[in-house]
Structure 1
Amino acid sequence: MSTHLNHVVVTGASGDIGAAVVAACLERGAEVLAQYRTRKDRLSDINVRTGNLIPVQLDLTEPGAPRALAESIPLHWTGVDLLVNSVGGARPTRFADITDDEWHACRRLNVDVPFFVLRELLKPLEKAGGSVVNLSSVAALTGGSFGPHYAANKAAVIGLTRSAARSLGPQGIRVNCVAPGPVASAMTESLDPHTLDALVSATALHRIVHPTEVATTILNLATSPAITGQTLVIDGGRFLH
């Protein structure tokens, strides 16, 4: 199993956590295939060495897009050492206000995309003895403040992680998950200020998490050869277990 990060694929790379992961991998000298849908400027702002960042614009919820991502892997790569499924998110919505379309869109983005991307990258991951880190949320464990659509689908990501770890372990592929709490991001900025204050007050550290802290944890999981099938909560001590 590879503990080296030479070739990395990050989905949702222009998001707050995704961009932090891209920057951390580049700092380690990795080549990074960075999928984004919008906001390429977030990637352009990262100070990178020439040739190490490969931005790919795709909407991964579109049919065929996960395969197109796999086909974008450079021919000189010998495999994929790390896949970070960072794509995801939701709009805060009350239970009774969630529409059918919003429910299904949340599932496509947060569950379908990680599954289909992982399925398309199985061969290069196996070739490198690579690792996968999926992005869930502490909302999967607490119910969260964004609504049942987000909590339910992020819980499904944990189930997907465990099943994939058990199924793919014999192929030398490790699969883990991180479940951040309130992170300094566009998502937390969309919360009502009183709701956000309540979330922060409920943490043991009385602060929100920075995206770079999540990125560091992801890379630690990716380079720990005996860890698979685990979900690591990163929330400043709100959900204690």
Structure 2
Amino acid sequence: MNVDEVIIVTGAAKGIGLATVKRLAAQGARVVLNVHHEIDAVAWQALTATYPQLVQLVGDVSDESSAAELVETVMTNFGRIDGLVNNAGMTHDQLLTRMHAEDFKQVLETNLIGTFNMTKHVLKVMQRQRQGAIVNVASVVGLHGNIGQANYAASKAGIIGLTKTTAKEAARRQVRCNAVAPGMIETAMTAQLNERVRTAALSGIPLQRFGTPDEIAQAIDFLLHQPYLTGQVLTVDGGMTI
């Protein structure tokens, strides 16, 4: 990694996003945190005390004008963008026959449309630079589906298709695009699972544990910086999909 790298991480306030921010910043990158709501002042002060080069930008990536403004602000401040991590996401679980159309649409807008919006505007910059790397956070659910998550699975499957297409279109300008597909990770989302569901999930994981945000951040770091890797989906799931 070059210490002068400028990397945007969306959905950066917690979980996988925040772990990625810390890992990249610890290596000297200038990381721009995109958050939907401003991070608590005390938490932000503590974070920037360790990583003073961090910048926080509030914006809704599901809105294209907001995404475009975010990219423009980064370019105004830094003059370049070397990496983009599309991590912003949400869930709204329900069985398909009980799912409201608005809940389906909202999850797609945040997860898939948000990834498209950021990729579109960052890719224009990276193509002009003739270098850059994009990592999209997908999910194993996008590979094999999951009961009660039709909207989430559709959004993550869409991200995988978007990743492969972006990789093909961007390669001629030396821009790479890959995806990471996490399995069950210890985040605020999985913390809401009851013991019965957790036990059932663990039974399908050969390594017999949930992963950590730091382990996904490590995979994202690898995908950002492996120079001959593009169009790939790296499954990090403790063996769930073997």
| Alignment TM-score, normalising by the size of structure 1 | 0.92
Q: Does the residue aligned with 1:178 lie in a helix, a strand or coil?
A: strand
| 2:178 corresponds to which of 136, 158, 176 | 176
* Aligned residue runs from structure 1 range 1-241, under 5 A: 4=2, 6-38=5-37, 40-41=39-40, 43-46=44-47, 48-49=49-50, 51-75=52-76, 77-126=78-127, 127=129, 129-240=131-242
1:98 partner letter: M
Distance 1:152 1:118 in 2: 18
Contact 1:134 1:178 in 2 (8 A): yes
1:186-240 deviations in Å (ceiling 9; x for gaps) = 1112233312221112111000000000000100111101100000111111111
Structure 1 unmatched ranges of 5 or more: none
Identity percentage of aligned residues: 29
Distance 2:27 2:126 in 1: 19
Distance 1:146 1:18 in 2: 24
CA displacement at 1:39 relative to structure 2: 5.7
CA displacement at 1:81 relative to structure 2: 1.3
Distance 2:7 2:107 in 1: 25
Q: Does the residue aligned with 2:78 lie in a helix, a strand or coil?
A: coil
1:137-181 deviations in Å (ceiling 9; x for gaps) = 001122125511111110010000000000111011100000001
Shift of the 4–50 alpha-carbon distance from structure 1 to 2, 3 Å rule, reads closer
Q: Does the residue aligned with 2:71 lie in a helix, a strand or coil?
A: helix
2:56 partner letter: P
Structure 2 unmatched ranges of 5 or more: none
Q: Does the residue aligned with 1:226 lie in a helix, a strand or coil?
A: coil
Report how many residues are paired. Answer: 238
